[in-house]
A and B are shown apart, each in its own frame.
Chain A
Amino acid sequence: MNRRKIIEEYIFKALSAFAAYSLIAILCFIILIIFIKGFGALNLDMIIKTPKGGFYYGGEGGVLNAIVGSLYIAFGATLIAVIIGMPAALYINVHLIKQKRTQNTIRYFLDALWGIPSIVYGAFGFTAMLLLGMNSSLIAGILTVALLVTPIMVRTFDEVLSTIPKGLHEASLALGSTKSEMAYRVLFKQGFSGFITAILLSFGRGIGDAASVLFTAGYTDLIPVNLDEPAATLPLAIFFQLGSPIPEVRERAFASATILTVIILIISLVARYLAKRYSKSNIK
């Protein structure tokens, strides 16, 4: 009897350990495959040149248009998310601090919003775009991605703000500050690490998301100068190039995927570093 228990214990512990370690293995496997395939095709031209004539038949050029387009869209969308999302998160944690129920209901809806797939945002963005008489453009892409990343922004920032001790609220109110002064001068500073994480998370999502920009941002070989021009994006560049029957173009898809992966990894590392750095000076 006891022997059976010990064996069961042993088997399930091993199984659990295997499941946990396999995640590390899978991550390494994915990144390794992308890098091995991609670095072979990656050269400086890929990063610093826009597509030249015959690029899609294996001709010269690079994907600078898509890199810049993605950065523009991610930057614009994050900016909008900050303008709308940051005050919303502060409101939940300042004005609603006493209404626990309302707070939880709002968080509940925000979490549900987070779950809406990006293709739905894309389809809606497309509908709204037609309704407003716009063409697929940088601004349409930015607005659609902003819809996608704003709930992420609010919830991530809110997560950190909600851990701030109540004494800090009371102290700042006792010193005579108004609610918004308390929000921006005390809570914002205390939750700054969360703010940075939220920004970088939104930025990463903005760069990597394909389904929402598929309808709205369009695709072009030029680097957009105005907001009403179409913009290429890196995920779509990968997607389109991979669909090509020409081997050189497919190779470039792998190179583009490597570029995107490196960008995402850098964002992730920077987010960790900054979050750690800025939470050091917090009042515990």
Chain B
Amino acid sequence: MLFRRLFFDKISSIWMVASLATILLMPLIIGIGLYIKAMPLFENTSVLKLVFSSEWAPSKGAFGFWPFISGSLYVTAISFVFAAPVCLFAGIYLTQYASKRLVAIMHPVIDILAGLPSVIYGVWGVLIVVPFISDYAAPFFNTSSSGYSIFAGGLVLAIMCVPYMLNMLIEVFKTVPAGMKEASLSLGATFWESIKHVVIKKSFAGIISAYGLGIAKAFGETIAVMMVVGNQMLNSPNPFHAGYPLPALIANNYGEMMSIPMYDSALMFAALILLVIILAINLVFRYFIYKTQKQ
């Protein structure tokens, strides 16, 4: 009986360690897998040239990823401009001002927003954002646009990132000790002044981290962006023109990638770029968050 229990304990422990190790090694395995697949690409051109060259002609074997990387950066930047202030203020309201009842309502709202599949955001973008841009926003700025544009991608992305960033911001604001705010209030500061000078100051590193992680999330988002961004290479800085972010490039061309030599390597390299950038951002800012939580 005892033997059986100990035997089971042993087996179960081994299984637990093995599965945990597998999960933790996953990014490494993925990275290596993508790297091996992308290797033929490095034989002719250096990595730097691949990343910063703008010449994209797969049939001629020229793979310059800069148009796609810059497209991604552009969309991400626009989404950040919209999402960041909303998240900051909503986070402040929910942790400092809001009644318990509102918080209880907001939790499922944030969860559902975070849980909606990206394809749903894409459909919504096609139905609302795209016509809005072609009919109102673009004429307002004296340009014409089909609506399928960088700007549309940024807007849809912004909404998708809000629940993600907001959840982290709420966690960050919660770690500020109430005593500190009370001390500031008792010195005669108004509520908003205490928030501005104590809460925001104290959680500054956390706010930056939450923003960083939101940016990483936006950078890798695929389907929703791809549905509204137009998928043509960026040729002007006008945000009402179509763009072509990196994830959309991968998703759009998988069908043809076997017919052109090196194309599959190029797409796997694109995936590798995404993985490296996003993992790096995540590791850096998560580290900040852990630091602040420890304090």
Contact pattern, B 204-222, Cβ under 8 Å of A = 1, otherwise 0: 0000000001001101111
Across the A-B interface, the 4 shortest Cβ-Cβ residue pairs: A117-B220, A208-B117, A123-B271, A16-B93
Contact pattern, B 17-59, Cβ under 8 Å of A = 1, otherwise 0: 1011011101100100110010000000000000000000000
Among the listed A92, A115, A204, A209, which residue makes an inter-chain contact with B217, where contact means beta carbons less than 8 Å apart? Answer: A115
B69 contacts partner chain A, Cβ-Cβ < 8 Å:
no
Q: Indicate if the CB atoms of B223 and A180 lie closer than 8 Å.
A: no
A23-B162, A108-B287, A113-B27 in contact; A30/B120 too (CB < 8 A)?
yes
Distance to closest chain A CB from B170 (angstroms): 11
Distance to closest chain A CB from B198 (angstroms): 14
Contact pattern, A 117-130, Cβ under 8 Å of B = 1, otherwise 0: 11111111011100
Contacts of B86 in A (CB 8 A): 19, 22-23
B275 contacts partner chain A, Cβ-Cβ < 8 Å:
yes
A27 contacts partner chain B, Cβ-Cβ < 8 Å:
yes
Which A63-107 residues have a C-beta within 8 angstroms of B? 83-85, 87-88, 90-92, 95, 104, 106
Which B207-263 residues have a C-beta within 8 angstroms of A? 213, 216-217, 219-223, 227, 247, 250-251, 254
B106 contacts partner chain A, Cβ-Cβ < 8 Å:
yes
A178 contacts partner chain B, Cβ-Cβ < 8 Å:
yes
Give the docked Cα–Cα distance between A111 and B279 (Å): 10
Q: What is the size, in residues, of chain A's interface with B at 8 Å between Cβ atoms? A: 87
Q: Indicate if the CB atoms of B20 and A260 lie closer than 8 Å.
A: no
A24-B105, A120-B30, A238-B119 in contact; A210/B223 too (CB < 8 A)?
yes
Which residue of A19, A119, A180, A209 has the most chain B CB atoms within 10 A of its CB atom? A119
Contacts of B96 in A (CB 8 A): 16
21 contacts between A and B (CB under 8 A): A9-B191, A19-B85, A19-B90, A20-B98, A24-B106, A87-B20, A109-B24, A113-B26, A116-B30, A117-B222, A119-B247, A120-B34, A123-B268, A178-B6, A180-B12, A205-B115, A211-B223, A214-B254, A242-B126, A253-B123, A265-B112
Contact pattern, B 67-103, Cβ under 8 Å of A = 1, otherwise 0: 0000000000000000001111110111011100010
Contacts of B111 in A (CB 8 A): 268
Chain B residue at smallest Cβ distance from A83: B19
Distance to closest chain A CB from B10 (angstroms): 8
B135 contacts partner chain A, Cβ-Cβ < 8 Å:
no
A24-B106, A115-B282, A208-B118 in contact; A16/B20 too (CB < 8 A)?
no
Contacts of B282 in A (CB 8 A): 111-112, 115-116
A9-B190, A115-B217, A115-B278 in contact; A20/B17 too (CB < 8 A)?
no
Q: Indicate if the CB atoms of A261 and B127 lie closer than 8 Å.
A: no
A151 contacts partner chain B, Cβ-Cβ < 8 Å:
yes
Chain B residue at smallest Cβ distance from A263: B117
Contacts of B179 in A (CB 8 A): none
Which residue of A150, A180, A261 has the most chain B CB atoms within 10 A of its CB atom? A180
A20-B89, A214-B251 in contact; A260/B27 too (CB < 8 A)?
no
Give the docked Cα–Cα distance between A151 and B279 (Å): 14
Q: Indicate if the CB atoms of B123 and A257 lie closer than 8 Å.
A: yes
A88-B20, A108-B287, A123-B34 in contact; A268/B247 too (CB < 8 A)?
no
Chain B residue at smallest Cβ distance from A5: B190
Q: Indicate if the CB atoms of A121 and B223 lie closer than 8 Å.
A: no
Q: Indicate if the CB atoms of B116 and A30 lie closer than 8 Å.
A: yes
Q: Indicate if the CB atoms of A119 and B251 lie closer than 8 Å.
A: yes
